[in-house]
Structure 1
Amino acid sequence: MRPARPADVEAIAELRAVVMRPDLERLGRYDGHRVRQRLRDGFSARHTSVITAAGAFAGSVTLRPSETGHWLEHFYLAPALQGRGLGSAVLRTLLSGTDASGHLVRLNVLQGSPARHLYERHGFTVETQDAIDIFMLRPPGAGPRASALTATLR
């Protein structure tokens, strides 16, 4: 990972549109312009990291401070790189820092998104939900679920 630069915003906005499209279409909420513009409007290079794999752009993640801890936002990986452990490696890195500082982490994920399982494996639990979003919370030190540990030990 490397710190994001303002010039990264368009690549991240495009990746967001690609990654979120299936879930947003399933929920009847996909608008290509809006999905990109929401990223541009909320982009903070200061709190964002660019994920690289083999020296190339692979994704992004934002860890934004809040009054109660941090918000994990804009965590996108190129579809071809999903399911290979890269997302787990990024989460382990980020969460080791929030654990060390004693901060909780919140995020939201779309209803029905397979990303929810990744977050659950890393200690996130559902706090609230509505028809579109699931809001999740991870207290400091919450480790992987037992089933994830068992799978790792096999």
Structure 2
Amino acid sequence: MTCSHDLRVRPALSSDREFFFEVRRAALRAYVEQTSGWDDAEQRITADKEFADLPFAVVEESGRPVGYACVIHQSEYDFVEEIALLPEVQGRGIGTHLLQGILRAAQRRGVPVRLSVFVNNPARALYTRLGFEVVRIEDPRMSMQWTPGNV
């Protein structure tokens, strides 16, 4: 399937907090359960703190929230803190579209893009396809980096 061209990314609002947690639970729970176990109460506390502290954005398709992204811009690199999409929209190119936009912005700035992903997350294949290379593996996570010029 292909990605709809009607995507919009907007800053997260305080009213998006519950949506943020529901997407995180739906998209990431299986990977967390396989590595360290999922405790809903603990995960909610962590999610609430991160939502308050980090620059999350909501991804909308045709006006409907379908996921979120968080990219932290440092002077020497951009860090993809997290991208999560509802399971029913995964595999349609939305994540690819988001990452390509992040990489284009980093290319313009001349900085690499870094991220960390669970070793058991199939998104690793997407990152590799887009030019990310493994920098380090510290089970249960893997650090990857994309370098400008690898678009």
Q: Do both share a fold (TM > 0.5)?
A: yes
- Provide the rounded CA distance (Å) in 2 between the counterparts of 1:110 and 1:100: 28
Q: Which residue of 2 aligns with 1:18?
A: 26
Q: Which residue of 2 aligns with 1:146?
A: none
- Provide the rounded CA distance (Å) in 2 between the counterparts of 1:39 and 1:67: 26
Q: Which residue of 1 aligns with 2:87?
A: 79
Flag the 1:16–1:35 CA change in 2: closer, same or farther, 3 A. Answer: same
Report the number of matched residues: 143
Aligned to 1:72, what secondary structure does the other structure show? strand
- Provide the rounded CA distance (Å) in 2 between the counterparts of 1:49 and 1:40: 14
Q: Which residue of 2 aligns with 1:31?
A: 39
1:90 aligns with 2:93: no
Letter of the aligned partner of 1:122 in structure 2?
Answer: L
Please show how residues 37-48 of structure 1 align to structure 2 within 5 Å: 37-43=45-51, 47-48=55-56
TM-score (norm 1): 0.84
Q: Which residue of 2 aligns with 1:119?
A: 127
Listed as ranges, the gaps of 5+ residues in structure 1 are 144-154
% same residue: 29
Return structure 1 stretches of 4+ with deviation > 6 angstroms.
Answer: none
- Provide the rounded CA distance (Å) in 2 between the counterparts of 1:133 and 1:7: 31
What RMSD over aligned residues (CA atoms) do the two structures have, in Å? 1.7
Q: Which residue of 2 aligns with 1:101?
A: 109
Listed as ranges, the gaps of 5+ residues in structure 2 are 1-8
Higher-RCO chain (CA-CA 8 Å, sequence separation at least 6):
2
CA deviation vs aligned residue, 1:52-107 (integer Å, no higher than 9, x gap): 11210100111112353111022000100000111111111121111111111111
1:61 to 66, 69, 74: 69
Letter of the aligned partner of 1:58 in structure 2?
Answer: V
TM-score (norm 2): 0.86
